[in-house]
Structure 1
Amino acid sequence: MKLKKTYMAAALSALLALPALAQVPAPAPKQSRPMLLKGATLHVGNGTVIENAAVGFDNGKITYAGPQNGANLSGYEVVDVTGQHIYPGLIHSNSTLGLNEVESVRATIDWREVGEFNPNVRSIIAYNTDSDIIPTVRTNGVLMTQLTPVGGTISGMSTVVQLDAWNWEDAVVKADEGIHLNWPNMLIETGNSSDEARLKTMAETRKQTLAELTALLRDAAVYKAGQHDSENLKLAAMAGLFDGSKKLYIHADYGKEIIESVNFARQHGVKDIVVVGAGDALAVADFLKANNIAVIYSGVHALPSRAEEDVDMPYKTPYLLHKAGIPFALDYNTSIHGIRNLPFIAGTAAAYGLDKEHALASVTLNAARILGVDKQVGSVEVGKDATLVVSAGDLLDMRTNNVTHAYIQGRNLDLSNKQKYLYEKFDNKYKAQEKSVEPTTSLQP
């Protein structure tokens, strides 16, 4: 009987400990009453900074954003954030967050489909809202992302989501907003081999891929025109490329590949093009500007691509893109775990010439414009979603970034996560050990 009681007590203790072990907080409830954040410095996201500001929101929408003395919103619950900073929620472009949980287990990798041409593949239906990584990303102020499939020549369709939802349907901000094309490499890596037959085979493979891509785009244009007898999911998915309702995201780095791919897409009637990666964007800046092409630049925290370039060239590239008049957003495409460092990518750009508010825009309003969601998010303006963060320090500075409040569509987020839990667990452990060690007295001569 005593053993049974002991077992029951242990089981009860385990159940009571479950909340402490929870690593993915439940999504926040819908905003139930109007809120007013007051006293902070407001970074609107469009270059404007307002000292001693206030931001009010109700039913998930921003109702006021301006000087504190101009806010006369009776009935609002006031949150005093004096001395802190209010920012738009950061937006990460070109991400596999929630599509790739454990890389060593094939069953948890949902960012790629088999085959080379998959324009009809929808990344959103594989999105895991219970990913352990999502809460760690939100803690640094990243509240939205673009779910992007990878692999093959045409990977599939991306979707913009907000990072607080019970399921993928609730997470959607803009579904199937673009198709991703991985442009075939012009430069062939030969390693130590000079086998002419091998190089010839690789060149022929590239030629064949381009021919298949040409045929697919032509067929899609015909399908879009209504000249078909049966439904074709691949061709139907591409129809939006020809009327501008979908973007074509071309993943390319080499300058000649960027020019070749953009010209190719234009020749086939594609209306809206974005270059992703864009390592050589500066080398073809005039071409990009002339063709009104936006860029998602992935290489801020990277080594230079050429030996003759300055070692800090990747850090300076955002400033030089801005100076050249190229619209751009920044991403952190090394790994899903690195997405939490998105604000610090912008901070690096600010440290190497880019104005800090323009650096902020590269991960907020500029990203929203490129992804086609700027009417909803990207800046703290009246009428937009109340998707914003409050930081005790500079959000773009690794040393002072300290998000104290975060809201998605007005919902107050729980900012706990696995990493915070583990930090507190072991911090308490070693503090307890320090207290248990009795101080020793030194012997006096």
Structure 2
Amino acid sequence: MNIINAKIYTMEDKIIPNGYITVENGKITAVGEMSGFAVTSADILDVNGAGVYPGFVDAHSHLGMWEDGLGFEGDDGNEATDPSTPHLRGIDAVNPMDHCFEEAYRAGVTTVVTGPGSSNPVAGQLAAIKTYGNRIDDLIVKEPLAIKFALGENPKGIYHGKNEAPETRMATAAIIREQLYKAKKYLEDKQKAAEDEDFDEPDYDIKCEALLPLLRGEIKAHFHAHRADDIFTAMRLAREFKLNYVLIHCTEGHLIADKLRAEGADAVIGPLLCERSKPELRNLTPKTAAVLHKQGVSIAICTDHPVIPIQYLPLTAGLAVREGLPYEEALRAITINPARICGLEERIGSIKPGKDADLVVFEGDPLSVYTTPNMVFINGFRVI
């Protein structure tokens, strides 16, 4: 397939005013100016000057974990019976038949990071998945993508009601630290056993096994943290265990932007349209994205679906523009930035040969409340 006469927002630091994109076997194989286009196939789609963008990426959601319109029967996001559950795999709970998946791709959101909620300090394994299809195994971009950790009010609120730890922020951090130390010792013992036949391999521990890719640096830690002190706790834990990490929500990040810049932290900001529903959100402002960007912090914007419905991801990016984030940076915050922050930039996030052909066609402004995509392609297949 050849898409021609397109204004291409590559998100590779350039816009092609009038260009073409060639797609073969679900991948982008060529991108360039129309002046360099040579017809190689009769399969041509002329978009007549419309804008073509990479598929939008939501770096933090719970899509498919809380099914739309259902109560307990469709609530599979929090296993609130054990504060340390690194072995839980989000893909075992995601229901891609939930109609919110269709709402996602109809809004141009083609890839999401989804997984467990924040009731447990060590919550489980996140996955990056595409939004079109009916079998989760066929949608996976990367799994596990990251281990989800939660700080702040959510674990406290859940376990206070049970009269169990953690009832304090101290206990939340201690539970995370204890589990990571156990996994670190488990990894060391496995390595010793591999090197020394006289050293017994440790008994299989599914929780520790789940954390080995994190400790080896193969995946990242995603820390749910709203308040500034919780953000600093996340960074402290990451330093202690030499973890690659991402700050999720980062609600008070605008108050400590200089510290985040100095640490080289990545932040996934959002949700931006929600109410201040709990004390740790008292400093919530849609200006956070602009403040952090101005300080040189790499940011992405998320919905935290179902807190904000997934289809409003581009709208929240538009809100960030209204509050001072440069327009192109808002586009980057829902395309290449989340792809890079999540370690997926080799496959998604920009329009470049070799990447997945996830493409969204708009005749108007994609960040406007008035605009919806004319066409959406996922892996080169047209879904609308």
After TM superposition, the score normalised by the length of structure 2 is: 0.88
1:287 is matched with 259
1:387 is matched with 358
Q: Identify if the C-alpha distance between structure 1 residues 64 and 407 changes in structure 2 by more than 3 Å, giving closer, same or farther.
A: same
- SS of aligned partner of 1:225: helix
Is 2:94 the counterpart of 1:127?
A: yes
Instruction: Give the conservation status (yes or no) of the 8 Å contact 2:83–2:175.
Output: no
C-alpha distance in 2, partners of 1:378/1:176? Answer: 19
Give 1:136's match in structure 2, choosing from 83, 103, 107: 103
Instruction: Give the conservation status (yes or no) of the 8 Å contact 1:40–1:81.
Output: yes
Is 2:36 the counterpart of 1:70?
A: yes
Is 2:317 the counterpart of 1:346?
A: yes
Is 2:335 the counterpart of 1:364?
A: yes
Question: Please, what is the CA RMSD of the aligned residues?
Answer: 2.8
Per-residue deviation, 1:175: 0.6
Instruction: Give the conservation status (yes or no) of the 8 Å contact 1:46–1:361.
Output: no
Per-residue deviation, 1:327: 0.7
- SS of aligned partner of 1:275: strand
2:123 is matched with 155
- Aligned residue runs from structure 1 range 295-306, under 5 A: 295-302=267-274
Give 2:374's match in structure 1, choosing from 395, 404, 414: 404
1:377 is matched with 348
Per-residue deviation, 1:202: 8.8
Structure 2 unmatched ranges of 5 or more: 191-200
Q: Identify if the C-alpha distance between structure 1 residues 304 and 126 changes in structure 2 by more than 3 Å, giving closer, same or farther.
A: closer
1:273 is matched with 245
Is 2:189 the counterpart of 1:222?
A: no
Per-residue deviation, 1:302: 4.4
C-alpha distance in 2, partners of 1:225/1:188? Answer: 32
Per-residue deviation, 1:134: 1.1
Q: Identify if the C-alpha distance between structure 1 residues 204 and 55 changes in structure 2 by more than 3 Å, giving closer, same or farther.
A: closer
* Number of residue pairs the alignment of both structures matches: 367
Give 2:176's match in structure 1, choosing from 213, 217, 221: 213
Per-residue deviation, 1:352: 2.6
Give 1:167's match in structure 2, choosing from 135, 142, 152: 135
Letter in 1 for 2:52: I
Instruction: Give the conservation status (yes or no) of the 8 Å contact 1:103–1:109.
Output: no
Per-residue deviation, 1:256: 1.5
2:196 is matched with none
Per-residue deviation, 1:211: 2.9
1:95 is matched with 61
C-alpha distance in 2, partners of 1:306/1:163? Answer: 30
Q: Identify if the C-alpha distance between structure 1 residues 131 and 47 changes in structure 2 by more than 3 Å, giving closer, same or farther.
A: same
C-alpha distance in 2, partners of 1:72/1:172? Answer: 34
Instruction: Give the conservation status (yes or no) of the 8 Å contact 1:387–1:409.
Output: yes
Instruction: Give the conservation status (yes or no) of the 8 Å contact 1:97–1:336.
Output: no
2:195 is matched with none
Per-residue deviation, 1:365: 0.3
Per-residue deviation, 1:188: 8.6
Per-residue deviation, 1:306: 12
C-alpha distance in 2, partners of 1:212/1:395? Answer: 43
Give 2:21's match in structure 1, choosing from 29, 49, 55: 55
User: Could you give the per-residue CA deviations for residues 78-136 of structure 1, whole angstroms, max 9, x where no partner exists?
Assistant: 11101311000001121111122145432222212232110010001222121111111
C-alpha distance in 2, partners of 1:244/1:370? Answer: 14
Letter in 1 for 2:255: A
C-alpha distance in 2, partners of 1:210/1:137? Answer: 34
Letter in 1 for 2:126: S
Per-residue deviation, 1:244: 1.3
1:331 is matched with 302
C-alpha distance in 2, partners of 1:64/1:273? Answer: 34
Give 1:247's match in structure 2, choosing from 192, 199, 220: 220
User: Could you give the per-residue CA deviations for residues 250-295 of structure 1, whole angstroms, max 9, x where no partner exists?
Assistant: 111111221122112311x232011111011122222222222100
Identity across matched positions, percent:
27
Instruction: Give the conservation status (yes or no) of the 8 Å contact 1:53–1:65.
Output: yes
User: Could you give the per-residue CA deviations for residues 158-208 of structure 1, whole angstroms, max 9, x where no partner exists?
Assistant: 00000112311100000111011111449999xxxxxxxx9xx99964434
C-alpha distance in 2, partners of 1:328/1:76? Answer: 41
Instruction: Give the conservation status (yes or no) of the 8 Å contact 1:302–1:314.
Output: no
- State which structure, 1 or 2, has the greater radius of gyration over its C-alpha atoms: 1
Q: Which moved more, 1:100-109 or 1:273-282?
A: 100-109
Letter in 2 for 1:375: E
Structure 1 unmatched ranges of 5 or more: 1-34, 190-197, 416-445
C-alpha distance in 2, partners of 1:393/1:354? Answer: 20
Instruction: Give the conservation status (yes or no) of the 8 Å contact 1:100–1:110.
Output: yes
Letter in 2 for 1:156: G
Give 1:319's match in structure 2, choosing from 278, 290, 296: 290
Q: Identify if the C-alpha distance between structure 1 residues 350 and 207 changes in structure 2 by more than 3 Å, giving closer, same or farther.
A: closer
User: Could you give the per-residue CA deviations for residues 383-403 of structure 1, whole angstroms, max 9, x where no partner exists?
Assistant: 11101111121111111x231
- SS of aligned partner of 2:287: helix
C-alpha distance in 2, partners of 1:346/1:55? Answer: 25
Letter in 1 for 2:234: S
Q: Identify if the C-alpha distance between structure 1 residues 139 and 187 changes in structure 2 by more than 3 Å, giving closer, same or farther.
A: closer
Per-residue deviation, 1:59: 0.8
C-alpha distance in 1, partners of 2:251/2:104? Answer: 25
Q: Identify if the C-alpha distance between structure 1 residues 123 and 187 changes in structure 2 by more than 3 Å, giving closer, same or farther.
A: closer
